[in-house]
Amino acid sequence: MSTERPRLTRDRVLAAAIALADSSGIDALSMRSLAADQGVVPMALYKHVAGKQELLDGMVDAVLTGLPPLPGGSEWRPRLRERILATRATLLAHPWAPSVIETRTHASPIVLTYMDELMGIFRTGGFSAELTHLAMHALGIRMWGFTREVFPTPATPADPEQRAAMLAQFQTQFPHIVEIATATAGHPGSETAGCDAQVEFEFSLDALLDGLALRLAEQKASAANSARGRQRSASPR
Amino acid sequence: MSTERPRLTRDRVLAAAIALADSSGIDALSMRSLAADQGVVPMALYKHVAGKQELLDGMVDAVLTGLPPLPGGSEWRPRLRERILATRATLLAHPWAPSVIETRTHASPIVLTYMDELMGIFRTGGFSAELTHLAMHALGIRMWGFTREVFPTPATPADPEQRAAMLAQFQTQFPHIVEIATATAGHPGSETAGCDAQVEFEFSLDALLDGLALRLAEQKASAANSARGRQRSASPR
DNA sequence: ACCTGAACACCGTTCAAGT
DNA sequence: ACCTGAACACCGTTCAAGT
């Protein structure tokens, strides 16, 4: 008697889940709320996704499908940088993505492809398989273009008198936190006072890439040494 | 009529929660299961912790209380390294700690103290307030001595025939993943094939510290330059 | 001061049935 | 092939009461 509801498909379910998580937060996304959103009984979803975990897997895959093509070339550093920053830009539209990615226990083919491509960038750039392995671990979740926030704010009491007392105590109890908070409080256009997430991310990524570059240089030096050694001990000519 | 149950206290509740999470996993820890474990009705816990989130906050605090004293000295790099590796050693006994720490939204005084001390190590070592701020972001969750696992294994089908087919397809579809998995598969004494988490953590931390050391050197160089500039333009003598 | 009991408003998922 | 209904075994948390 009401208007025709379009038939559910896997893609429609995933798109609806992403839209719901984008607008209402990941905590508001349940099989039941998603079903209600689609005007359907909870169990109807199970014909299209195996369960909640598989729904979350599918949401990650759907978002990653929107990534730009892998940058070409053989210079590992600009390629890696561009790739990771593009991933960051893509995931930034979906605040739930970091926590969902972190809680995945199985990698989908799309996720495996993403990681395989990153490893390919290292290998093409001259990293050995072993060094690539370590470098991937060093990237960690940063490979997805985000880092977990390490500055959870302390719970601030609502009562203004208590708040003032807390701030005063803060000054003496956590002098460095206060110093750093005030030293960087002037950044324009930043959401959380004193924090420009893009600047901080690029700083962190570049610092790590510097460290990896040093290790690549070491690897090349030791390879050259052992090659010289082999040449010396081999038959002349 | 049964044996006397010792009165609940906040410390006893936290210790029981930690023991339960250690032995049965964080998913098995609910207000209800913890209450049952203590032979008490769920609501009895609320006299000692305000709710589940506050329980988790308290668990983190209780574990951090077991940290060794902050290393002294003025050399930032060995101090930071020692501090973070000690934290890692402490948290390693509690597999639930990383995910719980990551989901905290408010920092307790104990957590704030930990971060303030790390910042103090940077500042004493010559980092400016701004550079310390960025360095803390670069450390990210690594400051807690862990990194999130970035290699979730693909779901392997139970059927052996399907598994063999998957492995064959893997070889061509994800060549770098296979190469890296086989190149590092021989590590002795590693739990997950080819992965030595301690080696990987220290590699990652040291690579990052190298990057931070470079930036500290840049900061000092530019400070020296502007000091020379100031001296030149100042009155002689 | 500390603990209990019953209830509320949720979850994900199963099973057996409908069309 | 796709969707429904009812049920199961859970959650965290409230409120009002007990001792």
CATH number at residue B35: 1.10.10.60
Q: State whether B83 and B139 are in the same domain.
A: yes
Contact between residue B185 and residue B193 where contact means Cβ atoms under 8 Å apart: yes
Q: State whether B131 and B205 are in the same domain.
A: yes
Look up residue B211 and give its amino acid.
G
d(CA B93, CA B82): 18
Using C1' positions and the CA of A48, the closest nucleotide is D2
Could A176 and B209 be called an inter-chain contact, meaning their C-beta atoms sit closer than 8 Å? no
In Å, what is the separation between the CA of A163 and the C1' of C1? 29
Q: Is the CB of A142 under 7 A from strand C?
A: no
> Is residue B4 one of the residues assigned to a domain?
no
Number of domains composing chain A: 2
> Is residue B142 one of the residues assigned to a domain?
yes
Q: State whether A125 and A102 are in the same domain.
A: yes
- Both tokens of residue A45? 């979803």
Nearest-CA residue relative to C1' of C5: B41
> Is residue B168 one of the residues assigned to a domain?
no
Q: How far is B125 from chain A (nearest CA, A)?
A: 13
In chain A, the residue whose alpha carbon lies closest to the alpha carbon of B153 is A106
Q: Is the CB of B138 under 7 A from strand C?
A: no
Point out the domain boundary residue: B64, B89, B106: B64
pLDDT tens column, A71-99: 999 999 999 999 999 999 999 999 999 99
**pLDDT at A2 > cutoff 80:** no
**pLDDT at A29 > cutoff 90:** yes
- Both tokens of residue B149? 């696992």
CA distances from A221 to A81, A212, A217, A226, B184 (A): 24, 14, 6, 9, 21
**pTM of the shown model:** 0.90
Q: State whether B207 and B132 are in the same domain.
A: yes
Determine the pLDDT at residue B14.
98
d(CA A88, CA A101): 13
Residue numbers 82-121 of B with CB closer than 7 A to any atom of strand D:
none
> Is residue B210 one of the residues assigned to a domain?
yes
Cα A41 from chain centroid (whole Å): 34
Q: What confidence tier does A225 reach under pLDDT thresholds 50, 70, 90? A: confident
pLDDT tens column, A138-178: 999 999 999 987 777 777 777 788 888 888 889 999 999 99
Q: State whether A49 and A104 are in the same domain.
A: no
Q: State whether B107 and B208 are in the same domain.
A: yes
3-state SS assignment for residue B13:
helix
> Is residue A189 one of the residues assigned to a domain?
no
Determine the pLDDT at residue B187.
52
Q: State whether A228 and A202 are in the same domain.
A: yes
Determine the pLDDT at residue B194.
60
**Count of residues for chain B?**
237
How far the first Cα of chain B sits from its last, in Å, is 91
Q: State whether A122 and A201 are in the same domain.
A: yes
Compare CB distances from B184 to A116, A130, A179 and report the shortest one's residue. Answer: A130
Residue with tokens 């020296």: B224
Q: State whether A45 and A118 are in the same domain.
A: no
Determine the pLDDT at residue B236.
47
- Sequence-ordered list of residues with C-beta below 8 angstroms from that of A78, at least 6 positions apart, any chain: A71
Q: State whether B126 and B40 are in the same domain.
A: no
Domain of B43 in residue numbering reads as 10-64
Determine the pLDDT at residue B234.
53
Determine the pLDDT at residue A26.
96
> Which residue, B184, B153, B151, is CA-closest to B166?
B153
pLDDT over 70 percentage in chain A: 90
> Which residues does chain A have within 8 Å of residue B148's beta carbon, measured at their own beta carbons?
102, 140-141, 148
Block means of pLDDT (10 residues each) for chain B, 237 residues, are 70 97 96 96 97 97 97 96 98 95 92 97 97 96 90 75 85 93 62 75 98 97 82 54
> Is residue B123 one of the residues assigned to a domain?
yes
> Is residue B229 one of the residues assigned to a domain?
yes
Q: State whether B129 and B206 are in the same domain.
A: yes
> Is residue B98 one of the residues assigned to a domain?
yes
Q: What confidence tier does A1 reach under pLDDT thresholds 50, 70, 90? A: very low
Q: State whether A14 and A52 are in the same domain.
A: yes
